Structure 1
Amino acid sequence: MNDMQLESNQPRNPDFDDDLVIWSDDYTGRYSPVVYGQQFDDQWRLFLEQKRGFRDHTGVETSDPYIDDRIFELTGVRGVLERRRLGALYPLIRQWRRYFGMEKRRNVGGRLYLKPSFPLEYFEGKRCLDIGCGAGRWTKTLGALGARVKSVDVSEHALRSTRRFNPDTDRLDIFDIPSRPELHQAFDFTLCWGVVMCTHDPLRAFENVASTVAPGGSLYVMVYAPTYHSSEAVRNMRRQFHRECRTIEEKMDFVFKVAEDADNAINYMDMLNTFYNWTIPEDVVHEWFRKAGFTDVVTLNKEEPHNAAWHVLGCKGT
């Protein structure tokens, strides 16, 4: 089946067909699923092939310095892995990297501003689920903090990447969670980063994700906010991408053309390539948490400049 046939068989797209980009729960049940396993697979493959724009990026890299950045974003503590490995040399190595601009280089893709921070020991011994693990950066981060992590994704190349350091990986569509009873209320901490808004029904996707959290456990969800991702600039880019790009080569050419920094190409591919690209109002996300039985619901990135997403955490009632 060629690309044109695939395109003609696609369901209605809320943005392109109905001029809808900001999610409302009134839309639940209105749209149909697509083949989700194909949407992110190319970017994880390009990462594994170490193509420019898909490596050395906060969204994919799993080397110790990048994982230490992720640990710092979660906990506010610097150099956890590298201090273990380098000992007293760590301050000198960090100073050397800063002098040669290597610390700044690790900012490609952006940094997180999360408050309150998690205590450093928060994840120690916890059974965690990483839904939509991608290249595995959060799986490796949680593991480095002492968690026992199960990593799931629909992308084969994502699973290949994550299996490099976590054997407990599994192919899973988020909408198949109801048929997987071993996942229900099984985890102390579930992380779902950038997944539910890229589905045909974010409300149902969230409910499935929330069902994996054990009583007393926590859920961390990241979704796009109705800011940058619902702007006309992004919507126009997505329309052009989906109407004009048929092959991976054409898609690559397009993202390198529109990316302000060629080393940030993966962010553009991630944003443009999905069929669904909802943005979710903050109050809607909080209401999802409350209806699913979560308390102490907090938006962790209130102080983030140029906020393009919501990072929301809640604790499931016992």
Structure 2
Amino acid sequence: MKFLVIGDPMLSSKTLSAAVHEIFGSNAEVKEVNWKPKSEEEFWYLRSQVEKLGPGAGKPPEELNEAVEDADVIVTHHTPVSEKLINASNASYIGVCRGGVENVDVKAAAKKGIKVMRTMGRNAEAVSDFTIALMLAQLRNVAKGHEALIKGEWKKKYANSGFMGDMAGKTVGLIGFGYIGKLVAKKLSGFDVNLIVYDPFINEDVLKEYNAKVASLEELCSQSDIISIHARLSQETKGLIGKKEISSMKSTAYLVNTARAGLIDEAALMDALENHKIGGAALDVFWTEPLQEDHPLHKMDNVTITPHLAGATNDTFNKTPYLLLRELKKYLDTHEESKWFIK
């Protein structure tokens, strides 16, 4: 088989190539291409645009136009694989080293009979760890206390000082209960919280395994002390947390998002934070990335913000192509159905 591996600033073609040779053997034919935007800032901007608008919004390297013609398998990370590239390709498989496939024109691939595969659960450990960290950071002012002390200020009063409490006894609502949601629930089990879950696709018997209870979105928003989002962004879920949902939250509640910014109505959240209608928010994802310098979040005293770090660990990046390629090889060897393929 002939492989085309497309690296980017986060996951190099050398790493992808090494994974191909380990899983498919040293004789596997591999062509390497790297997507190299002019700067890190441009990479993050283009990545954000592709997330929102699809692969046509990106600027893949010109050499891909020819490279895709002779590959049986295309492996990419964030590099956009547009309809134009797919129509020029003779590949049978496109593998994406991510949980989402926003950077691949799936419809165009389906028309050509190309199977598209994602890497399910690849950063679940990293994101679930980070989610718990954000909960604690926002609840206990960890980041804000650090920032103040670095500036020489021994700060003891914060926006949430009037209602700051412990994790124990709090109601935590999880929106989405896939790989990451389940791990967050598991890791919260030692904090003695009350766990409720909104996920239209989850079986209540599964929730019992995690000592969690099912809730409607309305119930979750109104009852939770901490709301953590773990849903996938789609046309159906865009703006899932809007003005109505945010208005129903407790004035002391926190909203945590390590999923996708588009799941939240930006204007509704900014209004709630600016006017202290909710306790605060901890956000790792934003509607435009990098976050604009003049964005109101920079000046708020009731937020913890981080630059899209949740899934970005070396462990995640290093293991992802191996997970993807093992699943592909398993499918090629057995032809058993795999949930990793997009239908």
Fold match (TM-score > 0.5): no
The structure that is helix-richer by fraction is 1
Larger Rg: 2
TM-score by length of 2: 0.34
Task: Using structure 1 for the length normalisation, give the TM-score.
Answer: 0.36
